[in-house]
Amino acid sequence: MIIKGKIISGKGEGRYYLSIKKYKKDIRKLLNFEPYEGTLNLKLNMDFNIENFNYLETEDFILNGKKYFGVRLLPVKIKVRDGVICGAIISPKKTDHGRDVIEIIAPIKLREKYNLKDGDVLEVVI
């Protein structure tokens, strides 16, 4: 299945959560890569529900007295200008995004490496 979406800016919350060592460790264990500390948001022309797929999931945890919810992860291939990058759709249990926005993680900063900008169209292969 191929999903196409336009890159949009987020609030920067993905950067905060992906900087937490426990999240990084758990994601690395499931996906075999350490995610760049940030997400790339794609606005779709359809609703997307990760629960319709065989996703992976991290556990909830408590850090410094605060509860952090686990995330659902769906490994994907991200089509970029010169090839394909392994990454994942990351779906927090708590999110402000509608079902027409997905967040992508990868081992590199995709915006910087491929000079991606808001409005660029990206394809993700599930």
Domain count of the chain?
1
- Mean pLDDT check: name the lowest of 17-26, 29-38, 79-88, 92-101: 92-101
Question: Which residues span the domain enclosing 106?
Answer: 2-125
In this predicted model, what pLDDT tens digit does every residue of 5-56 receive, in sequence order?
999 998 877 888 899 999 999 999 999 999 999 999 999 999 999 999 999 9
Q: Which residue numbers belong to the known binding site for CDP?
A: 10-15, 108-111
- Quote the CA–CA distance of 96 and 117 in Å, as a whole number: 22
Q: Which residue numbers belong to the known binding site for FMN?
A: 95, 103
CA dihedral 43, 12, 53, 58 (to 10 degrees): 180
| CA distance readout (Å), 73 to 36, 52, 67, 95, 104 | 15, 12, 19, 14, 9
Q: Which residue numbers belong to the known binding site for Mg(2+)?
A: 39, 41
Assign residue 108 the CATH number of its domain. 2.40.30.30
Strand partners, 123: 4, 79
Q: Which residue numbers belong to the known binding site?
A: 10-15, 39, 41, 95, 103, 108-111
CA atoms within 13 A on the CB side of 17: 24
